[in-house]
Chains A and B, each alone.
Chain A
Amino acid sequence: MSPVIDNLDLYWSGFLTSLEFIVYSLIGSMILGTVIAAFRVSPIAALRGFGSAYVTVVRNCPLTIVLFFMAFGLPELGINRSYFFFGIAGLVIYTSAFVCEALRSGINSVSAGQAEAARAIGLTFTQTMREVVLPQAFRSAIPPLGSVQIAMFKNSAVAGAFGIGGDLFSVGKNLTSAQGYSYIPVLTGVAIGYLIITLSAGLALGLLERKVAIAR
């Protein structure tokens, strides 16, 4: 385990970078996922179609290819940003499709009477969504949303494999290939870093579920 102990500062900075990455992706995917979910239930057919196509394509495409198109496709469109940004963009786009589906299952679980009542008192579609349906949908959607986001935490490792630089996986890559340390101790350190993130997120999710979620 000496490679880990000797390089604890590297592991720590990798851990923090991974956290940074995760937080941005969490916020971004929730926002984008909500937008796409709204598209999918909106009365405007073009938006419904776009949302549906988006989810179908993104869900069935491997994250590796999504990240590639972020890192090498966006610059072809004239968008030049850091690879950190592209990594987050890839993760946000990928995860948002699953967030959308989790929200839709939440929306579907809101009983019809709620929306009917909202209509009965004259609320428009947007008002119905915003004031009545979405708040309840979110609470129902917390369990699947939680597992989608924890999955995203794990997927951040793939972005690291792509040249994000600085996150936990890159630290592992750096220590083993560039500096030639043996794999087992280095990867164990990386694994522990990720486990800290996912296991604590799992516990937090469990607490959140108990406090907020509606029994179905």
Chain B
Amino acid sequence: MSDQSVLYDVPGPRAVRRQRIGTAAALVLIAGLVAVAIQRLASRGQFDSDLWSPWVNPSDDSFAQVWELVGRGALNTILAAAMAITLSLLVGVVLGVARMMSGRMGRIPVVGFIELFRGLPVVITIVFVWRAMAELDVPIDVLPGEPALWYLVIGLTLYNSVIVAEILRAGVASLPRGQGEAGRAIGMTEGQVMRSILLPQAFRTMLPALISQLVVVLKDTSLAAVIGLGYFELLRRGNQISQVLDNPIQSLFIVGAIFVVINYGLSRLAVYVERRMSTSSYSDPSPEVGEVTLGAQAHGGAGGV
């Protein structure tokens, strides 16, 4: 439904005039608020060049260092997110399949696990993994790379794998029932039906949701900076720079902009993938998957949303 044309008539001359007045009034109001904000910020010195220069002026002494640190931070963020989403995919598929295929008794621990990590804020999960593993002296060193990265990734995986499991469930539920029935009719076992028929199709439906979940994971990596986990991802680098240069507003503005740009790009990718798939797939563009996605996106990003 294209709501624009349905919710109101094609505007006649009076309506057009009213809308133009409304547009002008809205613009004036917005511009006014922005002007007040700028004036107040300027009076606090937030537009001083020495606060902005290391970020925007290539001839500034610190420019190269600042952008190098931020670049490394962004790479670390992407690395942690990529590892987390990959592991979440693996674990999530196992969990989802286990939930769908187990009998009543077998389902209980799986559902328990899923509900537990869905109900906990991600930030708590990450802190718990970090501190518990340190307190219990778990030999995290056997894994390559820094322990802090693994604590973050494991914490993120515990949360996001359950989301993936739920996305998978929604994806399989959205497939036409005939698929599974046909498989069973030709004598396949449940496992074969799942593996050869349902999962491959469900994955295609899941793809946009998974990319959206990647956005969530990316935002969640910034939690490491908030809880003091010593992993130097993007937000931590922003904090480091702002402490040396005394420009927290400016530095975090730029860091925030970088996050928005990266995530926006990924979201557009998700939309593109969804569009390409909906022209070729024959399963319902299911409202359930969309809903799990929205809930998951709201969940993700800093504490699970």
Contact = CB atoms under 8 A, between A and B. Distances in A.
Say if the two chains contact directly (CB < 8 Å).
yes
Interface of A: 41, 43-47, 50, 56-57, 59-65, 68-69, 72-73, 76-78, 94-95, 98, 101-102, 105, 107-112, 115-116, 119, 124-125, 128-129, 133, 143-144, 146-148, 150-152, 154-158, 161-162, 169, 172, 176, 182-184, 187, 190-191, 194-195, 198-199, 202, 216
A50 to B, nearest CB: 6
Contact of A101 (B4, B11, B27, B294): B294
Contact of B303 (A111, A125, A144, A158): A158
A119 B15 CA distance: 14
Given A98-B297, A147-B291, A195-B119, A46 B23 contact: yes
Given A76-B46, A147-B294, A63 B301 contact: yes
A152 B40 CA distance: 31
A76 B3 contact: no
A115 B253 CA distance: 42
A65 B298 contact: no
- Majority secondary structure, B binding face: helix
B37 interface: yes
Contacts of B7: 41, 115, 119, 125, 128-129, 133
Given A78-B40, A202-B119, A190 B124 contact: yes
A60 B215 contact: yes
Contact of A102 (B6, B27, B226, B294): B294
B162 interface: no
B282 interface: no
Contacts of B26: 44, 46-47, 50
B298 A61 contact: no
Interface of B: 1, 3-4, 6-9, 11, 15, 19, 22-23, 26-27, 30, 37, 40-41, 44, 46, 115-116, 118-124, 127-128, 131-132, 135-136, 215, 219-220, 222-223, 225-227, 235, 248-249, 252-253, 255-256, 259-260, 262-264, 267, 287, 290-292, 294-305
In order of increasing CB-CB distance, the 3 nearest A-B pairs are: A147-B295, A63-B302, A60-B263
A65 B40 contact: no
A7 B3 CA distance: 55
5 contacts: A60-B267, A63-B302, A77-B40, A111-B1, A183-B131
A25 to B, nearest CB: 12
A68 B223 CA distance: 12
Nearest to A182: B135
A51 to B, nearest CB: 11
A76 B40 contact: yes
Contacts of A124: 8
Given A72-B249, A77-B37, A119-B8, A61 B259 contact: yes
A154 B296 CA distance: 12
Contacts of B303: 63, 154-158
Nearest to A65: B256
A158 B131 contact: no
Contact of A46 (B30, B123, B215): B30
Given A76-B40, A115-B3, A184 B301 contact: no
B260 A98 contact: no
Contacts of A190: 124
A150 B305 CA distance: 9
B124 A44 contact: no
Given A43-B4, A73-B249, A112-B1, 18 more contacts: A41-B3, A43-B11, A46-B30, A60-B264, A65-B235, A65-B252, A72-B248, A98-B297, A115-B3, A124-B8, A147-B292, A148-B294, A158-B226, A182-B135, A184-B128, A195-B119, A198-B119, A198-B120
A110 B1 CA distance: 9
B291 A144 contact: yes
B226 to A, nearest CB: 5
B9 to A, nearest CB: 6
B302 to A, nearest CB: 3
